[in-house]
Amino acid sequence: MNNPFSSTNNKPPQLKEDFAYEMIREAILSGELLPNQQISLSTLAKQLGVSIIPVNHAIRRLISEGLVKQDPHHSPYVEEFSADAVKEVLTIRYHLEELALRESIPFISEKEMADLRDHIKCMDEKVSEHDMHAYGIANRAFHLKIYSYCPYPLLYELIDDLWNKAELNRSRSVFSLVHNMAEHSQEDHQQLLDLIEQKKVEEAIEFLRKHRAYSREKLLEQIQ
């Protein structure tokens, strides 16, 4: 098994079980650990720099969450994607995101636009470094930053919650699984910001719809 944690600078905190849990969970969500990939507890323990006991406890937690599966008398392995779950969560989330974008645009001033464009530059750096793990996190932060200007906190919270549910089905790993997906997304993000800056609300919503449809199509291709 390749070391999916080799690029991290994290050190085990006092609660090593929590550290192991967070690191393994993140590796699954980001696509570093792939569906059906067998998990060696001893290998993970060595890679994380902890004993096998906290790794074993972490795996049990991940099994309870549905991210890891273990059959009797066999090693645990990363659970497969759930195509139906992904479709349901993403369909609902995308509709709410369109509403949030519509409500956010009137409140996005020049200062907010500058902040969003700075965020894009940081994402460009992640792409150039081929760090899809960090890019996936930054991508989520970018979209939620846009929706944060919406005057309805509940709408933002619903989207954030649905994004969490989508990531439980490894939606973020699309950037690791699909070649040049991040580059394509960055081009879309630039165009989306241009439409937001011009206050072209309907055009921005339509563009976001196409952007999301492409992402969902590519993710479901990998799942199915």
| One domain for residues 47 and 144 | no
| One domain for residues 56 and 158 | no
Please report, for the chain, how many H helices and E strands are present, in that order: 10, 2
pLDDT at 5 (0 to 100): 66
Model confidence pLDDT, tens digit, residues 56-94 = 999 999 998 888 999 988 999 998 777 788 889 899 999
CB 173, CB 133: distance < 8 Å: no
| One domain for residues 88 and 199 | yes
* Rounded average pLDDT over 8-36: 79
Percent of the chain whose predicted confidence (pLDDT) is above 70: 91
Give the CATH number of the domain where residue 73 resides.
1.10.10.10
Return left, alpha or beta for 200; rule: phi > 0 is left, psi -120 to 50 is alpha, else beta: beta
* Rounded average pLDDT over 117-122: 97
Model confidence pLDDT, tens digit, residues 165-214 = 887 666 777 888 888 999 999 999 999 999 999 999 999 999 999 999 99
Within a domain: residue 10?
no
Which helix (H) or strand (E) segment is 64 a member of?
helix 52-65
pTM of the complete model? 0.73
Instruction: List 52's β-bridge partners, or say none.
Output: none
| One domain for residues 161 and 67 | no
| One domain for residues 182 and 135 | yes
| One domain for residues 113 and 151 | yes
Domain boundary, last residue among 50, 78, 106: 78
pLDDT at 11 (0 to 100): 54
Q: How many CA atoms lie within 13 A of 175 on its CB side?
A: 24
Which helix (H) or strand (E) segment is 68 a member of?
strand 68-69
Domain containing residue 60: 16-78
Least Cα distance to 164 among 74, 79, 67 occurs for 67
